[in-house]
Structure 1
Amino acid sequence: MAQYDEVIEPLLAQLDLSEKVSLLTGADFWSVPGLPRIGLGSLIMSDGPVGVRGTGWAPDDPSITLPSPTALAASWDPDLARTAGLVLGQESRRKGVHLLLGPTVNLQRTPLGGRHFECYSEDPLLSGEIGAGFVAGVQAHGVGTTVKHLVGNDFETDRMTVDVRIGERALRELYLAPFERAVAAGSWAVMSAYNAVNGLPMASNGPLQSGVLKREWGFDGVVVSDWRAARSTVDAALGGLDVAMPAMENPWGERLVAAVRSGEVPEDVVDDKVRRVLRLAARVGLLDGVPPAVSAPPADLDGDAVAHEVATRSFVLARNENFTLPLEPAALTRVAVIGALALDARVLGGGSAQVTPPHVVSPLEGLGRALSGVDVAYAVGADPRPFLPAARGTEWGEGFTVTLTGGRAHVFTLPSAALRWIGDLPGGLAPADVTALELRAIFTPDDDGEHTFAVSGFGTFELSVGGQTRFAGTLHPAGTGRAELLLSPREHRVGVRLAAGVPVEVVLRQSITAGLAHTVATTLGHRPPGPDADGMIAEAVKIAAESDVAVVVVGTTEQVESEGFDRPSLALPGRQDELVAQVAAANPRTVVVVNAGSPVLLPWADDVAAVLLTWFPGQAAGAALADVLLGVAEPGGRLPTTWPRRAQDCPVLAVDTTGGVVRYDEGVFVGYRGWQRAGRPPRYAFGHGLGYTTWVYESLEVGADEAVVTVLNAGARYGREVVQVYAGPTVPDPQRPRRWLAGFAPVAAHPGERVTVRIPLPERTWQVWDSGWRTVFGAYDVTAAHALDDPRLTATLTLVPAASGI
């Protein structure tokens, strides 16, 4: 850092006040302006928990799409998280991005959180270690990470305005802990959240941003606001924020200049912010003549291969009765693959985390490829999607021609009738110039009957099929806010009778309000004629009964798990539970694949042969699934969250924003800590996950700073295990959890092979926050476990002031 300070101070001295403030204020949606006269380039940011979108949407420039952060956490492997970070670091460089907006390390306090697929875990240690690995990988490419959202953004309801009341102890021991770990790992930026914490909006929260983050933790990077989270000129400037994003509705610019000149904001406060921005610019190579933090990035990785590896390592085998899995291909003649999500794979969550993958392998496609020579039969069974899927496939000929018009026209083609971007437009068009969008294709139906077409998005639409206007109008009421338009799209459906083999032209036109083309989410949906809901289930049951095994893919939709809203229920949407129950009754060898980013209820779990939890598995979804089901790879995942049997059993469930406040009255008893105190067994405990081999825990030795565990692969296959170490007071203390995660290590071994791992036990293992970190001396039970509810070996450690060295 010192070398940068030597460069920064002379540059800072050259700037006048307006120039300084310009470097702290978004220039547009994704960038902070440069200043050529001092050799400073523009800093480009991008969303990117699972892929790097870049500053806009270019259909010819897709993004490697990795599994969801919950999947990455399910690997319990910081090294694998680093590998994922390496891929996104190289993607950032390829797309010209200097600052990646991730990782998200907010905790999963209640399973109803709509954006939990983007967070790692309910445990601060696991979240912090996975986040630290991700930070190291991305920044190895000289691209900055932005740890978010500091702090208390653990739900979506009223997130822009809600005040989260968190006690000091829970704030320190749980919610701030993963941020502290990521900062210690060297993250170059932190994002402040929309919400307030203990009465102060986070973008203006001086005690946390200036006090804890910058002074106490020594953070020397940049604090950037969530988009439009900074709403005050003076309070945000004095509260530790460094960069306010984006340009629209920004409270800084000339208003901050005026506040400095009036004496409301000292200029040295602005200077500190500018130093941080210049330091970040130097690190990412945006200062002429200044060597960046990374001069020789690592060699590029195969993004698809990494997506595949993360997926297989993340899948959690939750149930496997009578060794149903892995399947033996040679013993199969017919396999039933059932579920709308088996064909239309849900590979990532909704909201700002969305990117466009280069390709997606669906479960049906993956199993079909892997089971050559086996009859793979498909049925929808039950369709949970409230919106029709985007039109695509061979019936649509050469695909969809899209024309953007305004100041000039830009024409491109797409294989799927879905358009979505935030920021720059395709073709480099200026948002102010684009006033219309047209999507056109020739559709030659395979089936006679009533085809259903749907329009979703925002703006004014006209849909014509076969030269006749079928819909004209808007979907949202006048005055709907921009955020609601993007995160809560609506749909209109029309039925059109068509004859098989007779081509018709389908045209969707959209009028766009001048200046608003930087945000578009438009889809033309299509569904062919087919059976009704009862008929679809009956069809699935029939093919299941006639097959050797039934693989049922169930899951959530973008309207259930997404940024912008929380989940009203933990139940699977639609009639998927009914589908599974009927298929299982027809075929005892029913394997259920759960395609959801966070916990859902599984009322049929005890009645099926196997349950495999696959999260949102990224672009290699179906290929990874086939490998795991057929035993080419082992399901390596362990649960990073507790999965309930009933919603009412959850120790923290409701997101209650009464009076604009959410009170975290449970204190430190969050996640499995709360489950232990409540004494109710969940369906699947924290850390749970089966494999295809057997592990014997042979020995455990414990010291104040380390646990040494030896395990034996006693099975017949190569396999992986996650050795989990938990600690808790020998004499129960009602003010502390019964047990908490103290450390962990993934291991791998061949049959008959022993592995000894040394697992560090951080000093915080034995500490509580009591106006400062205080070690609690006494006797502790330290357990090496396969999962929280599956302890294998326990040793007692007594900490005393003289002997502990703490």
Structure 2
Amino acid sequence: MTRQPTPTDAPPTADEAELARRLGALTLEQKVRLLTGADFWSLHPEPAVGLRRLVVSDGPAGVRGELWDERSPSANVPSPTALAATWDEQLVEQLGGLLAHEARAKGVDVLLAPTVNLHRTPYGGRHFECFSEDPLLTSRIGVAYVKGVQGGGVAATVKHFVGNDSETQRMTLDARIGERALRELYLTPFEAIVGEGRVWAVMAAYNGVNGHPMTESPLLRQVLHDDWDFDGLVMSDWFAARTTEQSARAALDLVMPGPIGPWGDALVAAVRKGKVDETLVDDKVLRLLRLAARVGALDGIPATARPSEQDTASVAARLRETAAAGFVLARNENAVLPLNRAVLKKVAVLGPNAAVARTLGGGSATVFPPYTVSPLDGIRAALGDGVEITHGIGVTPQTRTPVAPLSHLRLPDGTGEGTEVRFLAADGTLLGSELRAGAAYTWMGSFGPGVPVGEVARVEVRTVVRATGAGRYAIGGSGIGRFRLSVAGAQAFDVRLQLPPGADLVEGLMTPPQRLHSVELAEGEETEIVLTHDIDIDIDADTESASGSTGEAIGGAVTMFQLNLQPPHGSDDEEIERAEALAREAEVAVVVIGTTEEVESEGFDRTSLALPGRQDELVRRVAEANPRTVVVVNSGAPVLLPWADDVAAVLLAWFPGQEFGNALADVLLGTAEPGGRLPTVWPASERGLPTTEPSDGVLTYDEGLFIGHRGAGRPEWQPPRYDFGHGLGYTTWEYVSLDVPAETPPGADFTAEVRIRNTGTRHGKEVVQIYAGRPASEVERPVRWLAGFAVVEAAPGEETVATVTVDARALRHWDTGTGSWTVEPGTFRLEAGPSSTTLPLTADIAVGRS
């Protein structure tokens, strides 16, 4: 029988007693009102208990706040894969403190991060938004992130509980996960972040697990409440809650967003009819009040902490340092890196991501940074006027026309760069207007102060396009619904854009359908552009796989579209030939390649790991032209690198945030060491990788315990391009000795000491990794798995000792017979080294019987 929680289950502290008193002052209607959001990003205030408005914000790569555009810039931190690649808990905790400062500056109380779903397969669309394929590394980086954020008095929200490891049919799929894999892999990061990180909020996922939608899943109560004693709040992912009684009886506390949703009056009625016990509602409200108290949203109760102040310079320095610390030097033949600036005279900086790089992924992780430093700009700034920098794009991998660059847009009155946005009623009455310094527009439930949202029938964008060069310009719009474009007063098109059946609504937000018009312009010529979008809801029920009502809810809450513009450019053949010529004339060629928003984003999974367009051909031809070719891979997740053994150096840069170019220059020139080690395997081919495609709505995790590097030694194992944990620095290391206790009792932590020597000529950083194995085990296990790690530094010739704590949980397994954790007695083998396949040191430890 399910235990019915009550607000008095635990002996109340003074604060808890005060929260219970405030709870008692509320009527049922007041309590239920608090349990659904007030709008897209906030919760209802309740003066009767001194509760102010609470604000939540997306935030894996920065704190967006309540606006989703250039009017509210946010520090763009490196992507979660980049953070995990540092393997540096202290650095990540400090970054969490920076995010807390950003949150408070934007009036945000609750950050919807971190995302700790695992890299089950590199096809996962939000791979870049998750830390690692490994549960231990994910746990430790996630705990550090949460401690940093909450140390500043801002709530973190660990997500998505659980099994949201891919995007295809994510709102309806049922993930079938074996009991051991669920406990030992997918729940492990959540367990650590609840237990050690003391996180204040958890987000329940869209998907189901083993037959239950997560917003209604018994796992919420059984695992979070009963097993882990979680005292925080569980919120739904946006529009994930779809039922009244089932979700209310589960340990779901908050439905987001609002004010619509399945609770409200329906939940009040269910309580009145005895279908939902009011003690469940009380427990939910108490958890919400507890969260409010922790962030300082209750009168008379101060926040647990305030963030430290951060100025612009310190934020830039922190982001620059963190980006470099996450760069993984995967290959460095003949020590081509670091470059010797004293002998450089000409450097070719090539590739589609050299001048316009990706600093973050699409979807919930998207923010608008105050600036971005491109690789081209960073290298130019670092090398100065004494070195000639040449540039060519090489290829254009995008098939979509990008958002119109501000440099090509002039306000209609000629006063400067930008656009005028006008909000019009059905009869053409002007309801309001604003000047914008961008061409991507998002409004969530509001068009701004003084604009009556219910009366807006269309939004009109007016601007003047100025040609920076002669040629044919593609101009148009992206979005869902009716769009009209006029050029120089003449109508160019009048169309209705729709998503294909079965598409995720977020796909429509991130990569919406486009319509374009071609315009021939002379250099310096200007032409007036007007893009009009009608505000209506015309969403096919099949568009949103969760339900038609969910699609209508999102469509009604969000107005999002873009003005697009593509200046004229050469063909790929012409640009590749130009890149070859530039590379041939330079002493070194730096080629910056990567994914596009079309293939790596929330809302859809990847269908191929190949680099889009002709980027592989570009790399090969540049490398043939210049043997000193350094390839910088600007992707948030693994891509295939078929030319990797034919270039001098490969640097994996992830989505590294707004300081990308400066951090890259630091690493290329040796001012900073590439500090990263791989948090996930980079495959050499696509053979044998787990799928993201459900069958009849079911996605079976057939690989069980053997995801990523844990699959080594299995019949289906394919040797990767680069192993888990791999990464080169600018020095070399000798692994001298590994010392561990001869035996340890079950359930006890122990310490391993790894002595290493810096055998190179530079000060360096090493990530010392320890893997455990159980030869002749009676339990099915991987050959080895990560059991601990430590980051150390040493000067040339210096020896240092990495002290690695191996948590007792690293040796346990889930006993499906008893439904509990246990440790198999006997001998475990420990191996130490710089990656999962380079392990020069070995020692055995005996685990006794309990």
Q: TM-score range by the shorter chain?
A: over 0.9
Amino acid at match of 1:401: T
Per the TM alignment, residue 424 of structure 1 is displaced from its structure 2 partner at its CA by 4.8
1:269-308 superposed matches below 5 A: 269-294=280-305, 296-300=306-310, 302-308=314-320
**Structure 1 position 168 matched with structure 2 position 191:** no
Aligned to 1:772: 820
Aligned to 1:654: 691
Aligned to 1:569: 608
Match of 2:769 among 720, 724, 728: 724
Looking at structure 2, the residues matched to 58 and 165 of structure 1 have their Cα atoms a distance apart, in angstroms, of 38
Aligned to 1:177: 188
Looking at structure 1, the residues matched to 683 and 74 of structure 2 have their Cα atoms a distance apart, in angstroms, of 34
Amino acid at match of 1:658: S
Aligned to 2:702: 665
Looking at structure 1, the residues matched to 381 and 729 of structure 2 have their Cα atoms a distance apart, in angstroms, of 24
Looking at structure 1, the residues matched to 779 and 21 of structure 2 have their Cα atoms a distance apart, in angstroms, of 57
**Structure 1 position 800 matched with structure 2 position 848:** yes
Per the TM alignment, residue 546 of structure 1 is displaced from its structure 2 partner at its CA by 1.6
Indicate if the aligned counterparts of 1:55 and 1:424 stay in contact, CA closer than 8 A: no
Looking at structure 2, the residues matched to 760 and 84 of structure 1 have their Cα atoms a distance apart, in angstroms, of 23
CA-to-aligned-CA distance 1:432-480 (integer Å, 9 cap, x gap): 3433333333333232222222321223222233333323222226998
Indicate if the aligned counterparts of 1:58 and 1:425 stay in contact, CA closer than 8 A: no
Q: TM-score, normalised on structure 2? A: 0.91
Report the secondary structure of 2:222's partner residue.
helix
Per the TM alignment, residue 487 of structure 1 is displaced from its structure 2 partner at its CA by 4.0
Indicate if the aligned counterparts of 1:57 and 1:426 stay in contact, CA closer than 8 A: no
Q: Which moved more, 1:474-483 or 1:231-240?
A: 474-483
Per the TM alignment, residue 421 of structure 1 is displaced from its structure 2 partner at its CA by 4.7
Amino acid at match of 2:280: V
1:4-23 superposed matches below 5 A: 4-23=15-34
Per the TM alignment, residue 290 of structure 1 is displaced from its structure 2 partner at its CA by 1.7
Aligned to 2:755: 710
Q: TM-score, normalised on structure 1? A: 0.96
Per the TM alignment, residue 523 of structure 1 is displaced from its structure 2 partner at its CA by 2.3
Per the TM alignment, residue 335 of structure 1 is displaced from its structure 2 partner at its CA by 1.2
Amino acid at match of 1:297: P
Match of 1:103 among 114, 119, 123: 114
Report the secondary structure of 2:768's partner residue.
strand
Amino acid at match of 2:781: R
Amino acid at match of 1:505: E
Amino acid at match of 1:352: S
CA-to-aligned-CA distance 1:76-98 (integer Å, 9 cap, x gap): 01111111111111111111111
CA-to-aligned-CA distance 1:480-525 (integer Å, 9 cap, x gap): 8854532440112222111112222233232222896752332222
Looking at structure 2, the residues matched to 426 and 17 of structure 1 have their Cα atoms a distance apart, in angstroms, of 33
Amino acid at match of 1:300: Q
**Structure 1 position 521 matched with structure 2 position 569:** no
Residues 225 and 395 of structure 1: CA distance in aligned 2, closer, same or farther (over 3 Å): closer
Aligned to 2:8: none
CA-to-aligned-CA distance 1:309-331 (integer Å, 9 cap, x gap): 11100000001111111111222
Indicate if the aligned counterparts of 1:56 and 1:425 stay in contact, CA closer than 8 A: no
1:39-58 superposed matches below 5 A: 39-57=50-68
1:57-206 superposed matches below 5 A: 57=68, 59-184=70-195, 185-206=197-218
Looking at structure 2, the residues matched to 785 and 538 of structure 1 have their Cα atoms a distance apart, in angstroms, of 43
Amino acid at match of 1:682: P
Indicate if the aligned counterparts of 1:435 and 1:517 stay in contact, CA closer than 8 A: no
Amino acid at match of 2:698: V
Looking at structure 2, the residues matched to 556 and 58 of structure 1 have their Cα atoms a distance apart, in angstroms, of 22
Report the secondary structure of 1:371's partner residue.
helix
Aligned to 1:399: 417
Per the TM alignment, residue 393 of structure 1 is displaced from its structure 2 partner at its CA by 5.2
Residues 478 and 338 of structure 1: CA distance in aligned 2, closer, same or farther (over 3 Å): closer
Residues 272 and 394 of structure 1: CA distance in aligned 2, closer, same or farther (over 3 Å): closer
Aligned to 2:395: 382
Report the secondary structure of 2:724's partner residue.
coil
Looking at structure 2, the residues matched to 481 and 113 of structure 1 have their Cα atoms a distance apart, in angstroms, of 14
What percentage of aligned pairs have identical amino acids?
A: 50
Amino acid at match of 2:292: A
Looking at structure 2, the residues matched to 369 and 760 of structure 1 have their Cα atoms a distance apart, in angstroms, of 42
Amino acid at match of 1:356: F
Looking at structure 1, the residues matched to 438 and 39 of structure 2 have their Cα atoms a distance apart, in angstroms, of 29
Per the TM alignment, residue 789 of structure 1 is displaced from its structure 2 partner at its CA by 1.2
Indicate if the aligned counterparts of 2:474 and 2:517 stay in contact, CA closer than 8 A: yes
Per the TM alignment, residue 167 of structure 1 is displaced from its structure 2 partner at its CA by 1.2
Report the secondary structure of 1:779's partner residue.
strand
Looking at structure 1, the residues matched to 589 and 478 of structure 2 have their Cα atoms a distance apart, in angstroms, of 34
Looking at structure 2, the residues matched to 165 and 148 of structure 1 have their Cα atoms a distance apart, in angstroms, of 19
Match of 1:609 among 635, 639, 648: 648
Structure 1 unpaired stretches of 5+: none
Looking at structure 2, the residues matched to 621 and 602 of structure 1 have their Cα atoms a distance apart, in angstroms, of 21
1:235-634 superposed matches below 5 A: 235-247=246-258, 249-294=260-305, 296-300=306-310, 302-372=314-384, 373-392=386-405, 394-397=407-410, 398-406=416-424, 409-422=431-444, 424-427=446-449, 429-476=451-498, 482-513=505-536, 518-634=557-673
Report the secondary structure of 2:696's partner residue.
helix
Aligned to 2:736: 698
Indicate if the aligned counterparts of 1:194 and 1:202 stay in contact, CA closer than 8 A: yes
Per the TM alignment, residue 47 of structure 1 is displaced from its structure 2 partner at its CA by 0.5
Residues 90 and 267 of structure 1: CA distance in aligned 2, closer, same or farther (over 3 Å): same
Looking at structure 2, the residues matched to 717 and 79 of structure 1 have their Cα atoms a distance apart, in angstroms, of 23
Residues 410 and 66 of structure 1: CA distance in aligned 2, closer, same or farther (over 3 Å): farther
CA-to-aligned-CA distance 1:203-260 (integer Å, 9 cap, x gap): 0012x10111111100000000001111110110111101011115410000000000
Per the TM alignment, residue 430 of structure 1 is displaced from its structure 2 partner at its CA by 4.9
Indicate if the aligned counterparts of 1:442 and 1:503 stay in contact, CA closer than 8 A: yes
Amino acid at match of 1:384: P
Q: Which moved more, 1:458-467 or 1:767-776?
A: 458-467
Q: CA RMSD in A?
A: 2.0
Indicate if the aligned counterparts of 2:507 and 2:604 stay in contact, CA closer than 8 A: no
Per the TM alignment, residue 755 of structure 1 is displaced from its structure 2 partner at its CA by 2.2
